Amino acid sequence: MQVLKFGGTSVASAENITKVIAIVTHALTAGPAIVVVSALSGTTDALISVGRDAAAGQERFRATLRHLEERHLTVAEQLLPTAEDQAAIQPWLTAQFAELATLADGIFALGELSARTLDRLMSYGEILSSQLIAKAFQVKGLPAFWGDSRHWLRTDSTFGAARVDEVTSQRLSHELAAKVVDSLCIMPGFIGADAAGNTTTLGRGGSDYTAALAAAMVEADKLEIWTDVSGMLTADPRLVRSAQPISRLSYEEAMELPHRLHRGRVQHLGPEVRQLHGLLVAEAADGLRRAHQAR
């Protein structure tokens, strides 16, 4: 069993998602897999803007939602080759954006945005991307299914930065582990649910945490974090042009680096990954396996 996680840049376009499919298809030759995905890049920020603008009485939230819907529909059209394939996902996408519009209208009417409502609003990014990607795998003839991480990832009710109840999550994950034995699960990162069923989020960058937890729960042999940079670097490449990849480091060093260097990137990979045989941080931008492994 293996878990692969792809960030927002890696799934930002139909072209990039096609590369993700190629990477995962190759990985499946080694056994079943869970694929955890982030929202299409920029989507979470846009959804936050929708909520804040709606709460402030700014009508521009409607244009932001229209742009997001058009973007997702365009990706679906480019990713799915036939009108029949597109027809299988487009009505669902339209329905999801209708739900989003209703939610935003409610925020607009009330003039306030609670942390719980913001979590619900943000969750649509990962739900949309993961469903779309699951459909793309199915069209390729792969035995893929969509697994709602809210069904097994139990958290408290600290909306915006929920803490995971690992004991309950472990119990709830048994069904997931059994289902993935001979198939491919596509799962939204970043989100969970509290005991009352309310959608929660794990904090920005939480998709890495989702992947690490999934790997621990199903006792995966390997966890791969695919990102838009070539592994763990000596500095944030957005700030330091001369940042260099680190070819090899211990788990302890890997846990310490995000706090010092990466402003949160891969920060959620905690002690649970130590039980894995290998943690791989790889670059997915060009579809090539340029990886750096922690042991």
Q: What is the pLDDT of residues 75-123, one digit of tens each?
A: 999 999 899 999 989 999 999 999 999 999 999 999 999 999 999 999 9
Task: Report, as an integer, the average pLDDT of 153-166.
Answer: 97
pLDDT at 60 over 70: yes
Task: Report, as an integer, the average pLDDT of 209-216.
Answer: 92
Please give the helix or strand (H or E) that residue 256 lies within, else none. Answer: helix 251-257
pLDDT score of 231: 63
Please give the helix or strand (H or E) that residue 89 lies within, else none. Answer: none
Q: What domains does the chain contain, in order, with CATH numbers? A: 2-41+129-294 (3.40.1160.10)
Of 230, 208, 280, 287, nearest to 23 by C-alpha is 287
| 282 pLDDT tier (thresholds 50, 70, 90) | low
Distance from C-alpha of 192 to C-alpha of 269, rounded to nearest angstrom: 16
Encode pLDDT of 195-204 as tens digits. 999 999 999 8
User: ∠ at Cα 265 (264, 269), nearest 5°?
Assistant: 90
CA distances from 129 to 6, 85, 150, 183, 286 (A): 11, 16, 15, 19, 20
Radius of gyration of the chain (CA): 19
| 205 pLDDT tier (thresholds 50, 70, 90) | confident
Residue type (1 letter), 104? A
